[in-house]
Amino acid sequence: MTVLTLDAARIAKALHARARYKYVHPRVLREGQGWKVVSPNCSRNIDPQGGEIDIAWLVPRDEGGWQLYARDHRQGCWRHKHDAPSLTALLAHLCADPHREYWQ
């Protein structure tokens, strides 16, 4: 098993502990150098049909640590939101979503 495969598994497992929308089943997909989380939009705030939307993008930094981006659906781009020294710390922030930036 590669490090990349392990990272994807760690992300998918951590998402089960998130604070919001626990009843939806997000997926983890490869995106550039990192991982993208996509999920059905049950609130229908973004997609009125409840289709799958981009939630977050987790990117490892070359010098160590991780960056977390939220999808700006209006502008159609990723917005940097958080840095963490480890994937574990980054996932804790994503799952807690204290400012409702990811799970809308």
Q: What ranges do the domains of the chain cover? A: 3-96
- Environment class of 10 (CB within 10 Å of its CB; exposed 0-12, middle 13-18, buried 19+): middle
At 61, list the tokens.
């930094």
Nearest residue to 104 (alpha-carbon basis) of 72, 68, 79, 57: 72
Q: Rg of the Cα trace of the chain?
A: 13
- Strand pairing class (66-72; 27-31): unpaired
Beta strands per DSSP E along 1-104: 27-31, 34-40, 52-60, 66-72, 77-84
User: Does pLDDT of 48 surpass 70?
Assistant: no
CA 48 – CA 58 distance, rounded (Å) = 26
pLDDT in tens, 9-26: 999 999 998 887 778 889
87 contacts 10 by C-beta, under 8 angstroms: yes
Stated pTM of the model: 0.88
Longest dimension (CA), the chain: 41
- Residue 11 is predicted with a pLDDT of 96
Q: pLDDT for 51-78, tens place per residue? A: 788 999 999 999 999 999 999 988 999 9
